[in-house]
Amino acid sequence: MTDNDAREVLVRTTTGVVRGARGDGISRFLGIPFAAPPFGANRFDAPQPVEPWDGVRDTLEAGPGAPQLLDPDDPLDNYFNPSTIGEDCLTLNVWSPEPGSAGLPVMVWIHGGGYVSGGSTAPAYDGSTFARDGVVYVSINYRLGIDGFAHFDGTTDNRGLRDQIAGLTWVRDNVAAFGGNPDDVTVFGESGGAVSVLTLMAMPAARGLFRRAIAESGSPRADASPDHAHAVMARTAELLGIEPTVDAFAALSLQETIAGVMPISRDWLDTARWGAHTFTISPFRAVTGTESLPDPVFASATRSTVPLLVGTVRNETISFVSALGLDTDAAVDRLADLLGADDSVIDAYRRGRRLTTSVALAEALWTDWAFRMPVLSLAEARRSASTFVSELHWETPLLPAGLGAGHGLDVPFVFDDLATARLLVGDDGPSGLAVNMHRAWVDFAKTGDPGWPEYTTDNRATKIFDTTSSVVSDLAAPERQAWAGRR
């Protein structure tokens, strides 16, 4: 490793030398390939090795994200998604305090986006604050949509998740050259990234690749059986007017395949066809009973010996409720029937949280069914390793009062970067809360202790993050008891 005028940094990886940039005490390396481009002869296959290169490879600019639909006119899209897409997308990025250091803790970020969007170089996921605080931060891309998650007989399953494992394997083999300790890796993510983290805890090939895990706004019950995955793939093929085979999908151009995500995503809103599956939000999910994922995620994550920090935000589904028009009593009744929430469950919300409006009740039912109750059930069941539970309660002024802690709001606080997230937090987001959440995540990665008691059935300790934070015992007691045995 050399550092020229504190501006250029060279690091040797297992496939060649990369040139990064250094400034403000941080070295950045963007777009390092960890697997070959997953298209052409490699399409619908497992991630393939990178071809080594001679000389020095520049990693000064962000590489393309995985192929997906982008909306450059949508500020939120621009915040969470990459600016460009391309075939050479299986790349990662490294922010390091000092590549010449030894044994620094490592945090590997997996982006969200429901397995159909997102990218490691989105503005939301800049790793500078983690490197500033003594962590080697790595963010990775993976295949999305049909190419990453459509399930076909006779071909590689769970390809997007296998990409993540390939990225973690690269970290194991290379992060020491960037100053990190390959035996002290914390994998963390939000939304689809959190679902990925929980799924990686269940995948045999991922064992030993990370020491700790953090899952923000995900669910351990978002996987799918092979039969369900086949139904999604067959319906996708029907909507595209092709045969439900891997050869027929492979014959589509990449752009046609990207566009093909929209018809099945719209169809996914048809509860008459998909029932409660609609409320898992994305039609693309990890498939269990497969070579790479033999067992259900919940059961495997329960048995895992990896310490886990798992959390939600108070109003995960408020934006989805608005989009689906769940604002009438009749709509809430239909939602409750689909989710298996009988009168005793609804009464728990009316008594415990005093929810009376249709929107508030719909949001609470959906949030707890999809996120909060599966997370708490997992925390209740884990005995083999420590589990810490958190919940963000601070509300953005950009959403209705009482419903302002929406999905994704935790990201800028975890990254301690409110300046680039005004579209989420407004102009006066609480910087103290960002400092505290970020510190808890870094402390957990460094020591295994985020700063509050682990969750047990004796204390049910939950850290509430707000402008004034606190630890509450059995925060969700009425709802948890009402949902017992259902989620």
Cα 330 from Cα 85, distance rounded (Å): 42
Tell me the two tokens of residue 481.
């008891």
Residue 337's contacts (CB-CB under 8 Å, 6 or more residues apart) are none
Please answer whether residues 34 and 91 qualify as being in contact, where contact means their C-beta atoms are separated by less than 8 angstroms. Answer: yes
The stretches of 241-339 forming alpha helices (DSSP H) are: 246-250, 254-259, 261-267, 271-274, 297-303, 318-324, 329-339
Given a contact cutoff of 8 angstroms between Cβ atoms, the answer to whether 214 and 444 are in contact is yes
Residue 384 annotated as catalytic: no
Q: Which residues contact 458 (CB under 8 A, 6 or more apart)?
A: none
Place of tokens 């071909």: 155
The torsion region of residue 286 among left (phi > 0), alpha (psi -120 to 50) and beta comes to beta
- Per the residue annotation, which of 27, 117, 139, 191 is the catalytic one? 191
C-alpha–C-alpha distance, residues 41 and 166, integer Å: 18
Partners of 312 in beta bridges: 391
> What whole-number distance in Å separates Cα of residue 264 and Cα of residue 163?
23
What contacts 349, CB < 8 A, 6 or more positions away? 355, 361, 364, 365, 478, 479
- Among 151, 277, 407, 438, which one carries the catalytic annotation? 407
391 is catalytic: no
Lookup: tokens for 314: 């108070």
Task: Check residue 406 and report its DSSP letter.
Answer: B
Of the residues 190, 316, 363, 395, which is catalytic? Answer: 316
Is 407 part of the annotated catalytic residue set?
yes
Burial class (CB in 10 A: 0-12, 13-18, 19+), 257: buried
Residues labelled catalytic: 191, 316, 407
